[in-house]
Structure 1
Amino acid sequence: MQFGAVAHNIFVLEGGIAAGKTTLVQTLAERYGLTAFYEPVTENPYLARFYEDPKRWALEMQLWFFELRLETYKSAVEAAKTCKGVLLDRSVFGDYAFALNSHNDGSISDEGFKRYTERYEQGLAGLPLPAAIIYLDVQPEVCLDRILNVRKRECEAGIPLSYLQGLDAAYRVMLEMTRAWNCAVLVQPWESFGEASDIYDLMVVEQERQLQLVAV
């Protein structure tokens, strides 16, 4: 797959459900004057139905998510041209992990996954890669505890541990795939959370490293 030039001031935060992405993005954006892009989860017309009947709704929901995340990423690319830096709370790149998980557990058929993959490759072609994908590494059991005891969203109450475990495995595949595209991947342990300043320092170091490579 062919991508455009790396966008050195775009950073993507990925991780399992309830990993802590949104809180971290909010903190980084407010503290360091960055522009943040979030997912409008409450407006998702498929999410509740998907959790109730995954096989019926998985492909439709994932294609809906993909188009939403694709447009969000394109907006982020435009914003990055005139602002200090951009953060995305999940992205079109990580969307693949959710589709792969649904395919692996049988919710998306082989034919459906082929359809998704073709659209994924078509949509990403020519887009710039982010400066880095920062993956907040949290064990599925910890994510489930946060879902049930911290977030307490009604539509997420029925998420089984097996789904989160599958998503964790699918994310590992997705991260290796993006590494193969020469996209920087920074995996950060986040089970006990961490300091936003440490993440920002990593972003600065990675950005400077890439700019030095371009200058050579």
Structure 2
Amino acid sequence: MKNLHYIVIEGPLGVGKTSLARLLAEKLEGETLLEDVEGHPFLTKFYRDPKKYAFQTQIYFLLRRYQQIAEIHQMDLFKKVVLSDYLFEKDRIFARINLDDQEFWLYEQLFQLLHRKTVVPDLVIFLQARTDVLLERIRKRGRKFEKGVHPDYIESLNDAFNSFFFHYQDSPLLVIDASEIDFVHVPEDLDNLVAQIRNMEGGTQYYVPLASRR
């Protein structure tokens, strides 16, 4: 696939988006645009009391993601590919789960206003994984604010992401079952993915790297 200037890696919490974005940026000699999670002022409070802090958490994410994506206009996309670990529309997936109806109505007004000004990716890579795999990866990365995350919450997010990308048509989409894939420690997995990206012809494709097939 030619003219790949803006690639997004997406998927639920713990699936490995950021690690893959960094690896692909190195392989493709590109730049990363990564989500600002550690600097979020409400996230720790949200995990302690989701109902109380859901709206503040979601609005901050929405505005921060928009600000970051707006930076793409300042980048020279004809010289380097940009690898991001989030799609702007993913914010709405979390909002639909975390907000009540009145909060979501207000959120939706702002989302629609900002969404029409964002850049559409040239390719979206959707990483899928079983919920038990996600929970184990979340545990291993050891973020303090994620210690209290409930398995049911991860399950609901996983279902919501699968549903969203089942209907996604805005960009070419590469769907990968990442439950048994290790892009960090198995070079063949990463090399196979890079080859698949370069051979993409549009539409939706499903791929499992050969190195991880058992």
Whether TM exceeds 0.5 here: the answer is yes
Read off the aligned partner of 1:167 and give its amino acid letter: L
TM-superposed deviation, 1:209: 5.0
Q: Does the CA-based 8 Å contact 2:32-2:83 persist in structure 1?
A: yes
Matched, 1:196 2:210: no
Q: Does the CA-based 8 Å contact 1:97-1:173 persist in structure 2?
A: no
Separation of aligned partners in 2, 1:55 and 1:209 = 40
Matched, 1:128 2:116: no
Q: Does the CA-based 8 Å contact 1:10-1:80 persist in structure 2?
A: no
1:63 and 1:36, CA in 2 relative to 1: closer, same or farther beyond 3 A?
A: same
1:6-21 to structure 2, matched below 5 A, reads 8-21=4-17
Separation of aligned partners in 1, 2:56 and 2:118 = 24
Separation of aligned partners in 1, 2:76 and 2:175 = 23
Separation of aligned partners in 2, 1:199 and 1:98 = 28
The two structures have a TM-score, normalised by structure 2, of 0.83
Q: Does the CA-based 8 Å contact 2:173-2:202 persist in structure 1?
A: no
Residue number among 153, 172, 176 corresponding to 1:184 in the alignment: 172
For structure 1, the residue ranges without an aligned partner over 5 or more in a row are: 1-6, 103-107, 211-216
Q: Does the CA-based 8 Å contact 1:35-1:83 persist in structure 2?
A: no
Q: Which residue number in structure 1 is paired with residue 157 of structure 2?
A: 167
The two structures have a TM-score, normalised by structure 1, of 0.82
Residue number among 52, 57, 82 corresponding to 2:48 in the alignment: 52
Task: Give 3-state SS (helix, strand or coil) of 1:178's partner.
Answer: coil
Separation of aligned partners in 1, 2:143 and 2:43 = 12
TM-superposed deviation, 1:184: 2.0
TM-superposed deviation, 1:176: 4.2
Q: Which residue number in structure 1 is paired with residue 34 of structure 2?
A: 38
TM-superposed deviation, 1:121: 1.3
Q: Which residue number in structure 1 is paired with residue 212 of structure 2?
A: none
Q: Does the CA-based 8 Å contact 2:8-2:87 persist in structure 1?
A: yes
Q: Which residue number in structure 2 is paired with residue 4 of structure 1?
A: none
Matched residues, number: 195
Q: Does the CA-based 8 Å contact 1:14-1:90 persist in structure 2?
A: yes
- Which stretch of the first structure deviates more once superposed, 79-88 or 17-26? 79-88
TM-superposed deviation, 1:14: 0.6
Identity of aligned pairs, percent?
A: 26
Query: Using CA pairs below 8 Å that are at least 6 residues apart, which structure has the higher relative contact order?
Result: 1
Q: Does the CA-based 8 Å contact 1:80-1:86 persist in structure 2?
A: no
Separation of aligned partners in 1, 2:18 and 2:164 = 20
- Indicate the RMSD between aligned Cα atoms, in angstroms: 1.9
TM-superposed deviation, 1:55: 0.7
Task: Give 3-state SS (helix, strand or coil) of 1:11's partner.
Answer: strand
For structure 2, the residue ranges without an aligned partner over 5 or more in a row are: 184-188, 204-214
1:29 and 1:176, CA in 2 relative to 1: closer, same or farther beyond 3 A?
A: same
TM-superposed deviation, 1:92: 1.4
1:81-120 to structure 2, matched below 5 A, reads 81-102=77-98, 108-120=99-111
Read off the aligned partner of 2:155 and give its amino acid letter: Q
Task: Give 3-state SS (helix, strand or coil) of 1:43's partner.
Answer: coil
More helix by share: 1
